[in-house]
Amino acid sequence: MRFSTSLSVVALTTLITACSGAGAGITTTPGSALNNASGGPGLVSLVPSWLHPAAGVQLLKLDFVYPAKASGALYGSEFESEGSGEGQINAYPNPDPKNAKPTCTIEGYAINGWGVDNAGDLILPSGTSISTEPVVNVYKGPKPCGTLLGSITDSTGQPATAASFNATKDKIYVGEIASTANSTGEIVICTLKSKACGAPITNAAITGHGAGVAIDSKGDCWMSAATATNAGFLLVYWKGCKGKGVVATGTKNTSFGGLFFDTKGNLVSVDVGGSSGTGVLHVYKGCTPKCTVVGTMPMKGASLFGNLNAAGTELAVGDIGNSQIDVYKYTPTKLTYMYSFNNDLNGTGFIIGGGFNPTNKQL
């Protein structure tokens, strides 16, 4: 039985656009900006257009014998599950080497990335709401799939991911895939108290869609983005998350993806990879703006969003090509694959995000 918090259904027709070179492609709806002809949102996925999961893909072989004791939860999400833009995020026991059924589900629309704060609250950007405007929903933790604490209207673009140390009291940093003004990536800072977001923060070098967002305890922020609508990569750093920012140097990504910090203060950048279908995890030190490469590790499949467990020793990430969530042992220089799960996730709806609750406190 599925337990869900549901938003109303809004029709969505998708158009898959082509990808040039090895950069990431974008799944988009008609129209160059976010509003389509019917006045509803033109929802955008960050899934590469060359990467369409095959039907009936089997779970990757379990390489790791995992202890049986469960602690906390794992989340796995998909962009859409029913072909109409309606997506979902499921909670699972942690660990889940036996591919258990989800313990609960929250439904939304056009789910790309999302975040879990230090209290275990889930921050879930949704491409549309009952009013058809994009929203950022906050659900009470630490138990998964808690009650809806509030919704924040994002009137300047489609939210792609979000991060906050305390979503109920502090700032929520929301990465937008595409602004309503020019369809390029940007960050907005929102609060649940105001149920609103501030003026967009961007950089002139961001000439394509936005992807991951990371923040640190000082209030500095970073965004990974495309240099064209659906290709290329750059990383932008803003001191105090304000002003024009500066493009980071020394990065090795070929494509964009999620961002997060590990327990050692390294900035981890998910790279969806090229047409080979193999993603890469890059670990950087600094990036203010000069990055120093700490580690570069291949993953099992092309991935976009993920995060670490509370101890910072395990990584869960959405594996789009293999239609599953992959779990690894993590160090800044080594990934060790453990297991995968995908129960009640529809691979044709793009399994994009994985993560833990509780998560790494450095976000």
Least confident range of 131-140, 186-195, 261-270, 292-301: 131-140
Report the length, in residues, of the chain. Answer: 363
Which pLDDT tens digit goes with each residue over 216-253?
999 999 999 999 877 889 999 999 999 999 999 999 99
Residue 21 confidence (pLDDT): 31
Residue 149 confidence (pLDDT): 97
Bridge partners of 354, per DSSP, are: 76
The whole-angstrom separation of Cα 101 and Cα 94 is 12
Query: Is residue 15 scored above 60 in pLDDT?
Result: no
Query: pTM to 2 decimals?
Result: 0.86
What CATH superfamily is the domain 15-53+72-357? Answer: TolB, C-terminal domain (2.120.10.30)
Domain residue ranges in the chain: 15-53+72-357
Sorted by sequence, the CB contacts under 8 Å of residue 28 that are 6+ apart come out as: 14, 15, 17, 42, 44, 45
Average pLDDT score, the chain: 84
Residue 197 confidence (pLDDT): 97
User: Tokens 């090895």 sit at which residue?
Assistant: 22
In angstroms, the Cα distances linking 249 to 23, 81, 227, 232 are 18, 38, 14, 14
User: Tokens 């509803």 sit at which residue?
Assistant: 40
The whole-angstrom separation of Cα 184 and Cα 170 is 26
